[in-house]
Structure 1
C-alpha cells in the first residue's frame, strides 16, 4: 500500500512524521511506501526577503526521509508548487496512493467559520481515504493527540452506499484495531421501517468485526449527527473516527455544514474520511 504524507515543514508536521508509534500503525495496516509531499504556494518565491525555502525544504525532507526509512518504509519526496490540496491530490493520483495523510491542529474560531485549511479542503476533494492526524494546539513542540491511530475506531454510518464502502476499510484497519464503536444517529430523514431496524443492522456489522477478533459495541443516537458523533467520540475516547464523505456539488463545496467537515474540524482525535467511489 502506498501513502502520501503531506507536510508544510511545520512543527505540527514534524510531530506527525516523527512519531514512531504512528509509523508503526501505518506499517500494521499495510503501508509499505510513503511519498512525502510539500507544496509551496504559487505566491511564495525563494527570492523573497528572509525566505530560505530551498535549503529549508531540503534539510527538512532529508531528515523526514531518514526517519521514515529507518522505520522500514520505502520513501519518495515531492516538492511542488501550487494550491496545496490540489497538488496533494495530484501526487496521490499519479503514484496510485491508497491513503493520504495530513496533520491538523484542529479547531479554532476562525477555522470553523472560513474554509481555508488544507485538511478541510482535502476533506471535500480527496481522491483516496484521508487520514487527518490531530496535533496538539498552542504548544511550541506539539505531539499527536492520539498516537495509536487505529486502536479504538468509532465508525459512523447512515447506511448509505458510501457508508457501506467505508466499512470495508476495516479489511486493513483490523490489523491495528483492538475495539470499535459502531454508531448510527437517527434523523427525521431516516428511511422507514421497511429498511430494517438500525440496531439489527449495526449488530450484523459488529458480527463481521468479531470474526476478525475486534471487540465491538453499537450505539443508536438521535439528534444532530455531528453533535452526537462528537459526543460519542469524546465518551469513547476514540483514537480515530471513521466515516464516509458523500461529496457535494460545486455550490455545496462553498458552504460549511456537512457532517464530515464538522467532524474533521471539531473531533478531539484523528479522523479517517473515505471518499465516494466516483472519486477513487
Structure 2
C-alpha cells in the first residue's frame, strides 16, 4: 500500500490553503495526493428536535417529514462534497500534481482518519472546519481530536499558501523531537530550506550539547542551520523567535520530556495552534 499525502477538505475558508499546501507536499515528497471529504450526518450544530412540542395528532406526520428532510440534507451534503472534491482536484492539477485522487466517506473525520491511518504519510488539515466559529483564535474540536488520535505527521495550515522558506523546530532533546530533527535533515519536503532549532530552557551543558547535535545533524545533511537556547514561557518564546527570524513553518513534537510536553496534553499547544498564522507540522 502506497502511503500518500491526504488532505481533509470541507466548506471552510481554510480549504484553499489545504489544497495548495497538500499539492506542495505531494510534489516535494513525490507521493500521491488524495483529497478526503467526510459527510458527518450528525454535525455538532444539528438543529434541535422540536417533535416533542407538537400535538399528538400530527406527531407521526412530523417525524416522517423530519426523516425526509434528514435524507435530503444528506444528499445535498454529499453533492456539495463531490463538487468540493472536484474543485480541489482541479486546483491541485493547476499546482502541478498530475493525478490527484479523492474519497468521500460518511461518518466523522476522526473515525475516518483512524481507518485510513495506514495509508497516510502526511495529513494536511485546516485550522478550523466549516462548523467552527470564525473567531481567528478558535481551534476546531475535530482538529484537536485528530491530533490526539493519529500517529502520523499532521500539517495544520492557514487559509493562504506561501512557499516555506525558513523552518523552525521546537526542540527539547526528547526522542520525538530528535526524530523531528532527523526528519528535517532527510525529508525532501525541506530540501534547501534553512532550519532553525530552538530550545526553550536554561543555558545548561545538556541543552548546549543537544543543540550542537541538532545543528550538526542538519548541517551534515546540507542545510543551513542555526539555533538558540532561550529561557521563558514556551509559547511566547517560540512566537518571539518566529517573528524575529521571519519563520514560515514550525515543526513540533507531540510529546516531549520537558515543558514542551504540555504542547499536546495541556493548554500550551492548544494556544500555539490557536494563534498560529503559519503552518505547524506536528510529529508523533
TM bracket (short chain): 0.7 to 0.9
Q: CA deviation at 1:260?
A: 3.2
Q: What is the match of residue 140 of structure 1?
A: none
Q: Hey, what's the Cα distance between the residues in 2 that align with 1:181 and 1:260?
A: 19
Answer yes or no: is the 8 Å Cα contact 1:3–1:31 preserved in 2: no
Runs of 4+ aligned residues of structure 1 deviating over 6 Å after TM superposition are: none
Q: CA deviation at 1:73?
A: 4.2
Q: What is the match of residue 37 of structure 2?
A: 38
TM-score, with structure 2 as normaliser: 0.74
Is residue 2:48 matched to residue 1:55? no
Is residue 2:249 matched to residue 1:225? no
The 1:122–1:172 alpha-carbon spacing in structure 2 relative to 1, beyond 3 Å, is same
More helix by percentage: 2
TM-score, with structure 1 as normaliser: 0.75
The 1:72–1:220 alpha-carbon spacing in structure 2 relative to 1, beyond 3 Å, is same
| Structure possessing the higher radius of gyration over alpha carbons | 2
Q: What is the match of residue 12 of structure 2?
A: 10
> 5+ residue gaps in structure 2?
44-69
The 1:46–1:63 alpha-carbon spacing in structure 2 relative to 1, beyond 3 Å, is farther
> 5+ residue gaps in structure 1?
136-142, 276-280
The 1:48–1:23 alpha-carbon spacing in structure 2 relative to 1, beyond 3 Å, is closer
Kindly tell me the number of residue pairs found equivalent between the two proteins. 245
Task: Give the match's secondary structure for 1:155.
Answer: strand
Which of 197, 200, 208 is equivalent to 1:182? 197
Q: What is the root-mean-square deviation in Å for CA atoms of aligned residues?
A: 3.1
Q: What is the match of residue 60 of structure 2?
A: none
Q: What is the match of residue 171 of structure 2?
A: 157
Equivalent residues in 2 for 1:80-229, closer than 5 Å: 80-93=105-118, 96-104=119-127, 108=135, 111=138, 116-135=140-159, 143-144=160-161, 147-149=162-164, 151-170=165-184, 171-173=186-188, 175-186=190-201, 196-229=205-238
